[in-house]
């Protein structure tokens, strides 16, 4: 059974859906959510997103799936915000192929307009891998995104290709410290120093810093003492279905 062929039918079979993981600020308040894709296939079961996103990119399906991810996220979150009567930040992962596709920003802006969401409440999450693509194309596009009042976040920071001179040129609002750093932060002093340095880089470049994959009270306390701005991870909440996100917000009021 081919993942590629099954994926081609996934949208019409209604097998793809989105979950939303809460992000918490320094004061413990709910700041926003990261939108994450899930695929539950009738025969393959749950296929991990890193796997099916890679297949989608290689088989030319990322455009279509990427547009689904954007429209479904905006539709879900608009509904949640209407029910709760609050507005919060929503981060959407954009894959390299999706970002590089002709007309990406036009579609994105159109979808936001259709959803009646406010543009400043939307964040595009890109990865450092994007930076190995044509920077003369990427840089102006990132500036256009900023001009449109959309926030930009750099995912998995510290594991990939971005140099400091590159980071300085990029209009980035948020750095996400990769989970691999958080995993060893309590035991390993060298990791602590690296994370403190990443937070300092963020502060010096006027970027907010978010720690991913926070699983324990000790990790959260250490990161908080280092001045980390935002936190995300199982310690606070797993990625949640729309209905569970509403319940989580209500429980935290």
Tell me which residues touch ligand G (CB under 6 A).
Answer: 21, 36-37, 48-50, 53, 69, 93-95, 155-156, 212-215, 233-234, 239
Does 229 contact Mn ion by CB under 5 A? no
Q: Which one of 156, 167, 211, 228 is in contact with Na ion (CB under 5 A)?
A: 156
Contact partner, 95, from Na ion, Mn ion, ligand G, none, Cβ < 5-8 Å per class: ligand G
Minimum CB separation from ligand G for residue 83, in Å?
22
Among positions 153-192, residues that touch Mn ion (CB under 5 A) are 155
3-state SS string over the chain? CCHHHHHHHHCCCCCEEEEEEEEEECCCCEEEEEEEEEEEECCCEEECHHHHHHHHHHCCCHHHHHHHHHHHHHHHHHHHHHHHCCCCEEEEECCHHHHHCCCHHHHHHHHHHHHCCCHHHEEEEEEHHHHHCCHHHHHHHHHHHHHCCCEEEEEEECCCCCCHHHHHHCCCCEEEECHHHHHCCCCCHHHHHHHHHHHHHHHHCCCEEEECCCCCHHHHHHHHHCCCCEECCCCCCCCECHHHHHHHHHHCC
Query: For residues 204 and 218, which CB has a smaller minimum distance to ligand G in the complex?
Result: 218
* Residue among 47 and 211 whose Cβ is closer to Na ion: 211
The interface with Mn ion within residues 139-158 (CB under 5 A) comprises: 155
CB of 246 to ligand G, least distance (A): 19
Nearer of residues 117 and 167 to Na ion, judged by Cβ: 167
Stretches 3-11, 97-105, 182-190, 212-220: which one binds Na ion (CB under 5 A)? 212-220
Considering the complex, what minimum distance in angstroms separates the CB of residue 212 from Na ion? 5
Indicate the burial class of 85 (C-beta count within 10 angstroms; 0-12, 13-18, 19 or more).
exposed
In the bound state, the residue with its beta carbon closest to ligand G is 233
Nearest distance in Å: CB 151, Na ion: 17
Query: Within 84-123, which residues bind Mn ion (CB under 5 A)?
Result: 93
- Residues within the interface to Mn ion (CB under 5 A): 93, 125, 155
């Amino acid at each position: 059974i081919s993942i590629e062929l099954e994926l081609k039918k996934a949208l019409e079979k209604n097998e793809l859906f989105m979950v939303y993981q809460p992000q918490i600020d320094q004061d413990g308040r709910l700041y926003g959510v990261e939108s994450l894709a899930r695929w539950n296939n009738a025969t393959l079961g749950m296929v991990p997103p890193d796997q099916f996103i890679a297949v989608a990119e290689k088989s030319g399906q990322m455009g279509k799936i990427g547009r689904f991810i954007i429209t479904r996220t905006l539709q879900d979150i608009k509904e949640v915000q209407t029910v709760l009567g609050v507005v919060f930040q929503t981060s959407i992962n954009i894959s390299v192929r999706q970002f590089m596709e002709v007309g990406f920003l036009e579609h994105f802006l159109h979808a936001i307009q259709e959803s009646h969401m406010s543009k400043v409440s939307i964040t595009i999450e890109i990865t450092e891998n994007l930076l190995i693509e044509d920077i003369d194309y990427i840089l102006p596009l990132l500036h256009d995104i900023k001009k449109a009042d959309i926030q930009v976040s750099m995912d998995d920071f510290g594991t990939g290709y971005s140099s400091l001179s590159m980071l300085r040129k990029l209009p980035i609002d948020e750095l996400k410290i990769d989970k691999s750093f958080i995993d060893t932060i309590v035991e390993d002093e060298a990791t602590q120093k690296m994370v403190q340095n990443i937070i300092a880089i963020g502060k010096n470049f006027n970027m907010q810093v978010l720690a991913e994959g926070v699983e324990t009270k000790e990790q959260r306390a250490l990161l908080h003492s280092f001045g980390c701005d935002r936190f995300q991870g199982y310690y606070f909440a797993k990625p949640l279905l729309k209905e569970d996100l509403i319940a989580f917000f209500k429980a935290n009021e």
